[in-house]
Amino acid sequence: MVDRPNKPMALATTPGLPPQAQVNITHNNSRVSAVLPTGESVEVLLYGATLISWKDRAGSERLWLSEGAKLDGSKAVRGGIPLVFPVFGTAPEHKAAGNLPQHGFARTSKWEFLGKSTSESQGKNESSVKLDFGLSAATIDDETKKLWPYNFSLIYSVSLTPTTLSPASRSPTMDIAQVSVTGLDEAEYIDKVDGAKAKKQSGTVSITGETDRVYTPAKGPSEPVVVSEGGRTVYSVVRDNLEDVVVWNPWTDKAQGMADFEPKDGYKNMICIEAGAVKGWQKLEKGDTFEGAQTISV
């Protein structure tokens, strides 16, 4: 079990109190869903603590999820919001992480649901909900322990309000040709499609082919990274203690080569914006903690 102080308990409905978020565990205890009184909702797969759905009050989906995504725990989910730990990509030269699979093991491990907490904004009559999930050295499987024989404990929180989601985003769009990303001007980045060359962004980012870049925004995590479509803001992403931003779209050939990427022309309707600590390692002394977050506003 993940040791967490003040672990939230399920909240019962009390007559006379304002409506609160409803949280349910479904699909044979493999998913956790939450619905706000105003109708917004999220759904988290305990396999990988992967957020597979974020809907607005009208029921419209805000996350891209491949139609071929495996939701049965057989492999990492294609789409939604994955959680990457302890390595982004692979690190074959790194002594501790050299044998780990692509993007580590957090996205392919079974997480615990630790509970929920809810609140209501003063004077706004708006509810919010926070779902907490845990993974530790005691709960990973034996094969993973062989690959990562270190003591660790992770707490992952997903918070939902009527207008924001924390922490992350893969953004659905209607037409990738109309999409632009701002907030990355003057940012240094690594272009993984062009031999991992170091480059510098000039102006807005548009997607015209396979894109796989690791940006370090020049103005820091608090500067919003904004995804727009046809000049209309779709999402605004603000990070906390996460210096890097990955921008990814597989385009035609890569999409064709991914068995779980469906439909094959789905690259026209998605862009991946991922916040993280990607370019370098975070060094922690014994007993230290690292905390990072991001908030997506619509």
| Any domain includes 209 | yes
What pLDDT, in 10s, does the model give residues 156-210?
Answer: 999 999 988 875 334 446 699 999 999 999 999 999 999 999 999 999 999 999 9
Question: Domain boundary at 162, 196, 228, which?
Answer: 162
Task: Give the CA angle between residues 207, 213, 218 to the nearest 5°.
Answer: 105
Judgement on whether residues 199 and 153 belong to the same structural domain of the protein: no
**Residue with more model confidence, 123 or 248:** 248
| Any domain includes 189 | yes
Judgement on whether residues 131 and 202 belong to the same structural domain of the protein: no
| Any domain includes 88 | yes
pLDDT-derived band at 46, boundaries 50, 70, 90 = very high
| Any domain includes 9 | no
Taking the C-alpha atoms of residue 1 and residue 4, their distance in angstroms, rounded to an integer, is 9
* Residue 298 pLDDT exceeds 90: no
Instruction: Show binding-site residues for substrate.
Output: 78, 102, 107
* Residue 294 pLDDT exceeds 60: yes
| Any domain includes 10 | no
* Residue 225 pLDDT exceeds 80: yes
User: pTM, whole model, 2 decimals?
Assistant: 0.86
- Count: domains in the chain: 2
* Residue 20 pLDDT exceeds 90: no
Question: Domain boundary at 102, 130, 162, which?
Answer: 162
Q: Give the chain's largest Cα–Cα span.
A: 62
Judgement on whether residues 158 and 177 belong to the same structural domain of the protein: no
Q: Residue 19: its pLDDT value, please?
A: 81
Residue 287 domain boundaries: 167-298
CATH number, domain containing residue 59: 2.70.98.10
Lowest average pLDDT, out of 126-130, 202-206, 238-242, goes to: 126-130
Judgement on whether residues 44 and 89 belong to the same structural domain of the protein: yes
Judgement on whether residues 118 and 70 belong to the same structural domain of the protein: yes
Question: Domain boundary at 162, 190, 217, which?
Answer: 162
Mean predicted confidence (pLDDT) in 245-253:
97
Mean predicted confidence (pLDDT) in 124-130:
79
Q: Is there a contact between 190 and 278 (Cβ–Cβ < 8 Å)? A: no
Judgement on whether residues 153 and 171 belong to the same structural domain of the protein: no
Give first-to-last CA distance, the chain, whole Å: 35
Judgement on whether residues 51 and 144 belong to the same structural domain of the protein: yes
Instruction: Show binding-site residues.
Output: 78, 102, 107
Lowest average pLDDT, out of 53-57, 116-120, 155-159, goes to: 116-120
Judgement on whether residues 189 and 155 belong to the same structural domain of the protein: no
Mean predicted confidence (pLDDT) in 52-64:
93
* Residue 261 pLDDT exceeds 70: yes
Residues contacting residue 285 through CB under 8 Å, at least 6 positions apart: none
The tokens describing 55, both together, are: 């809907």
